[in-house]
Structure 1
Amino acid sequence: MFTEAIEKILTDLCTPALVRAVENGDRATALWSALENGGFLELLTPEVADGAGLTLESLFPIFLAFGRHALPLPVAQSIAARALMRDCPHAPPNGMLTLAGAAFRQADDGLCVPRLAYGTLADFALVNLQGELLLLDCSQARREPDGVHGSQCATLYWPQDAGGVSLGGKGQEARLFNAAIHAASIAGAMEKVLGMTLEYCNDRTQFGKAIGKFQAVQHQLSVMAEQVAASRIAAELAFAGDRPVPDLIPAAIAKARTSMAVPQVTAIAHALFGAIGVTEELDLQLFTRRLHQWRVSEGSETWWNNIVGQALLEKPKVTASEFVRTVTQSQTA
């Protein structure tokens, strides 16, 4: 029910034109209001607190849809931030919330959050500062956009006296949730890119027939489809089970596997589209640019593969296949 309602809002309001407008400075007030006023930011909030009380598993197709529509607002992060504040005495603030899995103190004791997702738009940020969960007011920070065309990512600097509200020692949960969110977004966006590429290959003709009929093109499409399917399965694993926050190893596997697929999926898509694929007028670049950005956001595949590898090495008598089965079974039992 929630998925269908959100899909309709995204179809009606989150158009490619809207995505481009946000990239040019628009705050997409109508889209944000539709999702906020519809109560969709409280999907993980318990029913006793007037929320929907959804499980992570039920939330996965919604986060997948956010990626499939290239949603340019921190809606997924806002949903997760409210869930992370579930046991805190402080009520979640109004406005756009985003998550950051890493922050550090500077020499002048100011706070820096590098490459904050939706840092150009967010009103507040829930950040992990060496295990401590901090709620920060983004209006008090200096924002430096990352310089990538159309990106809503920015590095934020808070002065020493900015303070922030400490919400306890759940900072690592912010990183895990954000990694899982990015994995779902990548999986959803790659599904869209695959669909666009298949449609183009069926419509584009060369030598009297659709280019999708050529064996060389079919081979590339099959590789692309394989990567997209594997990424969706990996991302879904991070949201399996009945836990309120994704577990470390499933989230690590999800972020690593989806990030690994990005270079191959985007390269094949642009190769098959040819020169038209890099034009600003074509919607393909709205997704492939985000895929490359989400690949490195909250840690690339190298960082998360190291987490998984260390966990495997700590169990010297367990084979790799047994390790994966154990993780999967623990999440779906």
Structure 2
Amino acid sequence: MFTEAIEAILDDCATPEAIRAIENGGPAASIWNAVEEAGFLELLSPESAGGAGLSLSAVEPVLRAFGRYAVPVPLAQSIAARALLRDTGVATPVGMTTLAGACRRREDDSLEAPQVQFGMTCDHVLANVDGDLLLLDATLAAREPSGVRGSFCGTLVWRPDAVPATFGTNGEAVLLFSAAIHAAAIAGAMDHVFAMTLQYCNDRSQFGKSIGKFQAVQHQLSVMAQHVASAGMASGLGFGGAGAVPERLATAIAKARTSAAVPLIASTAHALHGAIGVTAEYDLQLYTRRLHEWRIADGSEAFWHRMVGIAVLAQEHGTIVDFARTAPYSAAA
């Protein structure tokens, strides 16, 4: 129900034309305001506080939809930030809040948040600093863009006098939420890229028939379909726990699996589209650019594979199938 309602808003506001306008410096207020005014930023807040009281598994399809529409504002991050701030006593700030899963303190006591998603456009940053939780005013930070065309990602640096006191020790929850969000976004964007590619292959004719009827093309499409389905399953795994925050091992598996599929999905989509697929006028690049960016956000598959590998080696008995079936949500994980 919530997913369909949000998709109806995004159909109107998050069109490819709107995304291009925002990438070129236009305002993103129409998308943000439409979702905020509908109350959808409180999906994880309890009903007693005016929210929807959804579980993680129930909110996952919504987060995947944000990826499918390549939403250019931190809607998913703001939903997570409100959930993480709920029991801290810190009021939810007004405006767009994003997540920084790994910040570091410099020798001069300034604080650096490298490659923050929506770091160039956000108003606030909920940050993990060595396991501590901080809420930072992004307007007080020096912002350095990533340099990638159309990206809202940037590195933020706060002077020592602009860094507030910590108010919690659950900073890792920011990293886990952010990584799980990106796994869902990748799964959603992959689904859209595959749909575009399949439609193009059915429409494009060569030698008197659609190219989708050629066996070589069908093989590539079938491989894409397998990875898209697997990414969707991995995204669901990341949000499958019963807690208020995605489980550590489940998140690691989800982010590793979805990130690992990005190069194959993006390269195959562009190959099957041919020359038109690399043009700025064609919508495919709006999604594949984000796939590559989300792949490395919060660590690529190499980072998360190491975490999964350590957990696998630590198990005393059972097969890898037993591990995949039971470990992600076990207390030991």
Matched, 1:246 2:270: no
The answer to whether the aligner puts 1:99 opposite 2:99 as a matched pair is yes
- What is residue 28 of structure 1 aligned with on the other side? 28
1:313 maps to: 313
| Partner SS state of residue 242, structure 1 | coil
Could you say which residue in structure 2 is the equivalent of 1:323? 323
Amino acid paired to 2:120? T
Task: Work out whether residues 145 and 152 of structure 1, in 8 Å CA contact, stay in contact via their aligned partners in 2.
Answer: yes
Report the equivalent of 1:286. Answer: 286
Question: 3-state DSSP class of the match of 2:53?
Answer: coil
Aligned to 2:177: 177
Give the aligned partner of residue 261 of structure 2.
261
Same amino acid, percent of matched pairs: 57
Residue 26 of structure 1 and its aligned partner are, at CA, apart by 1.9
The answer as to whether partners of 1:124 and 1:136 remain within 8 angstroms in 2 is yes
How far has the Cα of 1:25 moved from its partner?
A: 1.4
Q: Give the letter for the 2:119 counterpart.
A: G
Once the two structures are TM-superposed, the CA of residue 318 in structure 1 deviates from its matched residue by: 3.4
Counterpart amino acid of 2:290? R
Q: For residues 90-124 of structure 1, what are the alpha-carbon distances to aligned partners after superposition, in whole Å with 9 as ceiling and x for unaligned?
A: 11101000001100011211000000010011100
Alignment of 1:208-223 (within 5 A): 208-223=208-223
Q: C-alpha deviations, 1:304-332, integer Å up to 9, x for none?
A: 0001111111113333221111136759x
Contact 1:136 1:165 in 2 (8 A): no
Compute the displacement of 1:179 (Å): 0.5
Q: Does 1:123 align with 2:116?
A: no
- Quote the Cα distance in structure 1 between the aligned partners of 2:275 and 2:152: 26
Distance in 2 (CA, whole Å) between partners of 1:205 and 1:262 is 27
Q: Distance in 2 between matches of 1:133 and 1:265?
A: 35
Displacement over 6 Å in runs of 4+: none
Q: Secondary structure at the match of 1:299?
A: coil
Secondary structure at 1:102 match in 2: strand
Mapped to 2, the partners of 1:213 and 1:327 lie a distance apart of 42
CA positional deviation for 1:284 = 0.1
For residue 43 of structure 1, report the CA deviation from its aligned partner: 0.6
Structure 2 SS opposite 1:103: strand
Instruction: After superposition, give the CA deviation of every residue in 1:8-29 in whole Å (9 maximum; x if it has no partner).
Output: 0000110001111111112311
| Residue identity opposite 1:108 in structure 2 | D
In the TM superposition, what whole-angstrom CA distance separates every residue of 1:164-190 from its partner, at most 9, and x where no partner exists? Answer: 242210100000000000000000000
C-alpha contact 2:44 2:79 (8 A) present in aligned 1: yes
Match of 2:188 in 1: 188
Separation in structure 2 between the aligned mates of residue 290 and residue 237 of structure 1, nearest angstrom: 22
Aligned positions of 1:7-26 closer than 5 A: 7-26=7-26
- 2: CA distance between counterparts of 1:329 and 1:303? 20
Aligned to 1:74: 74
**Structure 2 residue runs without a partner (length 5+):** none
SS in 1 for 2:136: strand
Whole-Å Cα distance in 2 between the matches of residues 167 and 68 of structure 1?
A: 34
2:153, 2:303 → 1: CA distance?
20
2:44 corresponds to: 44
* SS of corresponding position for 1:261: helix
1:165/1:124 Cα in 2 relative to 1: closer, same or farther (>3 Å)?
Answer: farther
Alignment of 1:168 with 2:168, yes or no, is yes
Corresponding position of 1:85: 85
After TM superposition, give the deviation of residue 5 of structure 1 in Å.
1.0
Aligned partner letter, 1:240: G
**Contact 1:202/1:211, CA 8 A, preserved across alignment:** yes
- Distance of 2:251 and 2:330 partners within structure 1: 13
Write the deviation string for residues 208-235 of structure 1: whole angstroms up to 9, x where unpaired.
0000000000000000000100010011
| Distance (whole Å) between structure 1 residues aligned to residue 94 and residue 18 of structure 2 | 23
Normalising by structure 2, what TM-score? 0.97
- For 2:330 and 2:209, locate their aligned partners in 1 and report how far apart those are by CA, in whole Å: 49
TM value normalised by structure 1: 0.97
Displacement after TM superposition at 1:64 (Å):
0.8
Show the counterpart of 2:226.
226
> 1:77, 1:199 → 2: CA distance?
31
**Aligned partners of 1:122 and 1:319: how far apart in 2?**
45
- 2:302 maps to 1:302: yes
**Deviation for aligned residue 1:202:** 0.3
Query: Unpaired segments of 5 or more residues in structure 1?
Result: none
> 2:32 & 2:297 partners in 1: Cα distance?
23
1:4 — aligned with what? 4
